[in-house]
Structure 1
């Protein structure tokens, strides 16, 4: 009996060693992929956006080029193999025999890059998540006894990728738990913690800056009723975003000829960006702009521009994804939330003399809308705090994230991810 116990402990130790080594490898590869995609996308997006700003016909030409390139890449390089985004990850975690094929890594990396730099109104986050999950999926296929840890290793890749994108290891782990696995066990915690530690080290070594540089001084309890209003509005807006994506996907499926899809999408995307350049690409440049002008007065032009973002960002994002673009609702949620918070704060200060701080509302709005869109309040909380590298607003962000999530769930119980998954059953 003692010999059996000894053999069992030896085997468990070997498995532990393998899990640690594989988690380190997954953490490095996933974070390196995420940082590489982030860097080159930011660089070329800024160049293309500046070019289009000076020559407006590029607002139409760039989306046409991007969607056409993606179509031919999918048809000839990736042999018409479909990309279903996060739905594929859910399928793999539910079906033990199903794995993510290796082509998902270059497919999502390349297509996500081309989508954003050519003006597609989405971000690289979902492309990174699927590519990182594929790294974890491939790792567990190499050794038989690691196959029972498929979900854990895929989540480790995802957590490392999110950590690298947003410099937030806690958000990385929470996203893999709240959105992907939806359960916790020792192996999940072990693999994810190791992977995000490796990713954090790489972020530190490369000295990756935070996405937004802002200074938060304080928040006041008298603003709590206004925070509640923001949470409810964020929940409503997230439902509009979700339903827009689902509606346009269903409509574009009815268009049989691919060039008709591309031309229609090009016209909608180009026209929208021409009127509101903030809609170009991931839109983070627009958020940085409103941080700089957070104390501007409420004018009719201001009202129209913000209203335009709140209405057309979900539509342009939906058209981008429905016409073949690679991405998701992660970046659009952050951008829409920022503009919603800015609008609410400025409106309250102008017409009700509320004396609230617009910067606080911008930050809280980002977290609230992300929370409502993916039904992950704790991921949104830590991710947005990391984006600004400040936890001053921890309490109001947590409160508003919970309000926005449950407002959205009450109005419409599905996210883009869960609704797609239910349809597939």
Structure 2
């Protein structure tokens, strides 16, 4: 008797679940294609322009101007003249009922993210990818019958799949959706996100996979634990510096009414910084790779250029975003953390002869600054472990990330995602 009553309901529920998981799998495929093609194209042209800069360094005074001007033209004539608000757009689509991510956000963030980075904007394609892939999830929930009530699940599936594809980091993709956007524990939500992640991961691994960094981490010593704690504290301060810098320059450039004055001023600032410190160009991953081959300096003055780059990166990133570039704080956080880690290790080695392993501090610093910047320690831990392609530093990274998150939150309880200006 009960079976005859329950059976139709269960059949309907099972059919709905299959539809959701099928949509999630399709989202995973498209998210991987968007993330992977954007990554490949960006790396190609960024490398090409950097090579051209090596032949003619004065070219840098034209590239950012070309990039920001092109973005402005596309935004004005093609993308409804609406600014891209990055992660906040995705958060609003989840929190506010009825507000969704329009389809044009996919090409808008794709092309604007590409143009920002390849022409020298000092940020990365991570946020552009996240918003574009989240928009795929929103679009599927709108277009497929009976899936509108699963919009949040499919949006999270899309953004998690995008992060997975970018870093070949499925656990980090899942944690990013969980920590930053929604902590839903419903079975359907978890199943949808996991399905999209695994689809994206497999597609990326077998067709697009390329290790971002070639780190050869082999060992760490428990005697270094106090210095990992110190690195976590310093990372917390640097995270807040990045957050406040982005918020300040966005507000500053937002007060400039003439778009062309804004673009020219911002382009000149970025061009000048990159002219003297080429590591500030684009994502900065090439700069991080160069750090791994720096040997122990005999003169501490050799660290001064590294200090300048580390403290200029928040400004370069903030100006990029303030002028209208597309991107966020993912890549800048990894960049700042790498420089902070190397500077910390070398300074301690120089003054106290500790024989710390600089590479370990580079990797741990990357995770710690990211944790403090986005207030997502679990995402940062698993993302950087995936980047390092091993979990040897899991415990030091865990310690540094938790401390950085705590310190950053105590100093300033907002991220660039959660801050809301006072009306």
Offset from partner CA, 1:11-53 (integer Å, 9 cap, x none): 1011111011101100000011000000000000000011112
CA contact (8 A) 2:300 2:350 kept: no
Offset from partner CA, 1:248-284 (integer Å, 9 cap, x none): 0111111111111011111110110011100000000
Q: Tell me which residue corresponds to 2:407.
A: 407
CA contact (8 A) 1:298 1:346 kept: no
* Counterpart secondary structure, 1:212: coil
Matched, 1:178 2:176: no
Matched, 1:52 2:50: no
* Counterpart secondary structure, 2:421: helix
What CA distance in whole angstroms lies between the structure 1 residues aligned with 2:22 and 2:208?
Answer: 25
Q: Tell me which residue corresponds to 1:109.
A: 110
Alignment of 1:300-319 (within 5 A): 300-319=300-319
* Counterpart secondary structure, 1:392: coil
What CA distance in whole angstroms lies between the structure 2 residues aligned with 1:299 and 1:273?
Answer: 25
CA contact (8 A) 1:245 1:317 kept: yes
* Counterpart secondary structure, 1:417: coil
| 1:206 Cα deviation after fit | 1.2
| 1:81 Cα deviation after fit | 2.0
Distance 1:298 1:374, change over 3 A: farther
Offset from partner CA, 1:123-178 (integer Å, 9 cap, x none): 00000000000000000112342111111100101111101000000000000110
Distance 1:227 1:304, change over 3 A: same
CA contact (8 A) 1:177 1:184 kept: no
What CA distance in whole angstroms lies between the structure 2 residues aligned with 1:350 and 1:185?
Answer: 52
CA contact (8 A) 2:106 2:133 kept: yes
CA contact (8 A) 1:117 1:281 kept: yes
Offset from partner CA, 1:378-404 (integer Å, 9 cap, x none): 100000011110110001100110000
Question: What is the aligned length?
Answer: 422
Q: Tell me which residue corresponds to 2:222.
A: 221
Runs of 4+ in 1 over 6 A off after TM superposition: none
What CA distance in whole angstroms lies between the structure 1 residues aligned with 2:145 and 2:301?
Answer: 62
Runs (5+) with no aligned partner, structure 2:
none
CA contact (8 A) 1:86 1:130 kept: yes
What CA distance in whole angstroms lies between the structure 2 residues aligned with 1:240 and 1:129?
Answer: 23
Q: Tell me which residue corresponds to 1:93.
A: 94
* TM-score normalised according to structure 1 size: 0.97
* TM-score normalised according to structure 2 size: 0.98
CA contact (8 A) 2:283 2:332 kept: yes
Q: Tell me which residue corresponds to 1:192.
A: 193
Distance 1:316 1:297, change over 3 A: same
CA contact (8 A) 1:298 1:347 kept: no
Alignment of 1:69-218 (within 5 A): 69-206=70-207, 208-218=209-219
Q: Tell me which residue corresponds to 1:384.
A: 384
CA contact (8 A) 1:45 1:117 kept: yes
CA contact (8 A) 1:210 1:386 kept: no
CA contact (8 A) 2:35 2:129 kept: yes
* Counterpart secondary structure, 1:356: coil
| 1:82 Cα deviation after fit | 2.4
What CA distance in whole angstroms lies between the structure 2 residues aligned with 1:45 and 1:228?
Answer: 35
* Counterpart secondary structure, 2:354: coil
What CA distance in whole angstroms lies between the structure 1 residues aligned with 2:422 and 2:190?
Answer: 29
What RMSD over aligned residues (CA atoms) do the two structures have, in Å?
Answer: 1.2
CA contact (8 A) 1:153 1:191 kept: yes
* Counterpart secondary structure, 1:179: helix
What CA distance in whole angstroms lies between the structure 1 residues aligned with 2:298 and 2:153?
Answer: 49
What CA distance in whole angstroms lies between the structure 1 residues aligned with 2:130 and 2:422?
Answer: 20
* Greater CA drift, 77-86 or 230-239: 77-86
| 1:207 Cα deviation after fit | 5.0
Alignment of 1:11-50 (within 5 A): 11-50=12-51
Q: Tell me which residue corresponds to 1:355.
A: 355
CA contact (8 A) 2:113 2:327 kept: yes
